[in-house]
């Protein structure tokens, strides 16, 4: 009687679980105890993908090409004797298709600010596999810790405009698990809001009073000034 098969182990030997389109991956399936020959079958979502027979205690190697979104998901393998029914199933491996981040957009509810004001900046990549990590800059200087977003929502930072040097160019960058891809946003500048002088309301009030006096004097000419001039003749 053949030795009882152990549950096979499914191991990734080439590639990564986070995959990109057209990537090749290789899976190894092996029962460490049993009597060859052994038949190994690879399944994706419980559908057979491929099968190999092994006449010795060497692993079955399955090489796959990720050519569409349907090629990712859960994989398992099954080990069984070729001369009997039944068999043992392995652990599962899950592949996730990743895509690079799109160019993030840096924005703020206001484009004008004045010294002593609090402002916010938001950075968002509308495309790309989650999670996405964002970092904010002013010029070439990093001004925030990394912010990793698990959902499709903007990373937000709060700034205090303390001096004229805070009116420089701001940017943000975004990256995810897609290898070697980082995208930078547009530049964003706050413009200095004009501050009204405290003397402006007083000047405006005095001007209105003077205008009213001139109008009053002009209206008084036909009624008071002219009759008084005629009476004195």
Q: Which residues contact 73 (CB under 8 A, 6 or more apart)?
A: 44, 45, 94, 95
Q: Are residues 31 and 83 in the same domain?
A: yes
In whole angstroms, how far apart are CA 115 and each of 43, 106, 139, 142?
63, 21, 19, 21
Same domain, 154 and 177: yes
- Residue after which a domain boundary falls, among 97, 123, 140: 97
* Statement to judge: residues 58 and 113 lie in one domain: no
Q: Taking the alpha carbons of 176, 178, 180, 181 in that order, is the dihedral positive or negative?
A: negative
| 29 in any annotated domain | yes
Residue 61 domain boundaries: 8-97
User: Range with the lowest mean pLDDT among 30-44, 139-153, 190-204?
Assistant: 190-204
Decide if 227 is inside a domain: no
pLDDT value of position 231: 62
pTM for this model (two decimals): 0.59
The answer to whether position 134 is within a domain reads yes
Q: Are 99 and 129 in contact (CB under 8 A)?
A: yes
Q: Is residue 177 part of a domain?
A: yes
Beta strands in 45-110 (DSSP E): 47-54, 60-66, 73-81, 88-89, 93-97, 105-107
Residue 219 lies in a domain: no
Show which of 40, 66, 97 is a domain's final residue.
97
How far apart CA 225 and CA 227 sit, in angstroms, is: 6
- Rounded mean pLDDT, 141-159: 96
Task: Confirm if 28 and 8 have CB atoms less than 8 A apart.
Answer: no
- φ/ψ region of 86 (left if φ > 0, alpha if ψ in -120 to 50, else beta) reads left
In this prediction, residue 225 carries a pLDDT of 57
Phi, psi of 151 (to 5 degrees): -120, 165
Residue 37: which of 95, 80, 92, 101 has the closest Cα? 80
The string of pLDDT tens digits covering residues 186-213 is 999 998 887 554 445 666 778 788 888 8
pLDDT at 44: 96
User: What is the reported pLDDT for 219?
Assistant: 78
Contact 113, 193 (CB under 8 A): yes
Average pLDDT over residues 129-145: 94
| Residue 138: its H or E element | strand 132-138
């Amino acid at each position: 009687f053949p030795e009882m098969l152990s549950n096979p182990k499914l191991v990734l030997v080439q590639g990564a679980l986070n995959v990109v389109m057209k990537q090749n991956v290789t899976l190894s399936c092996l029962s460490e105890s049993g009597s060859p020959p052994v038949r190994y079958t690879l399944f994706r979502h419980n559908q057979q993908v491929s099968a190999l027979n092994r006449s010795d205690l060497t692993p079955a190697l399955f090489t796959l090409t990720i050519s569409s979104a349907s090629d990712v998901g859960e994989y398992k393998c099954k080990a069984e004797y070729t001369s009997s029914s039944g068999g043992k199933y392995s652990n599962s491996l899950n592949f996730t298709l990743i895509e690079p981040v799109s160019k993030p957009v840096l924005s703020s509810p206001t484009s004008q600010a004045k010294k002593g004001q609090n402002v916010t900046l938001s950075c968002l990549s509308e495309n790309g596999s989650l999670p996405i990590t964002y970092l904010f800059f002013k010029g070439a200087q990093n001004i925030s810790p990394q912010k990793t977003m698990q959902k499709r929502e903007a990373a937000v930072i709060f700034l205090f405009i303390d001096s004229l040097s805070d009116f420089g160019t701001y940017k943000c960058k975004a990256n995810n698990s897609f290898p070697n891809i980082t995208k930078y946003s547009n530049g964003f500048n706050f413009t200095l809001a004009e501050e009204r002088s405290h003397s402006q309301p007083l000047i405006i009030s005095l001007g209105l009073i003077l205008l009213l006096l001139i109008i009053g004097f002009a209206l008084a000419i036909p009624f008071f000034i002219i009759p008084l001039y005629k009476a004195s003749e």
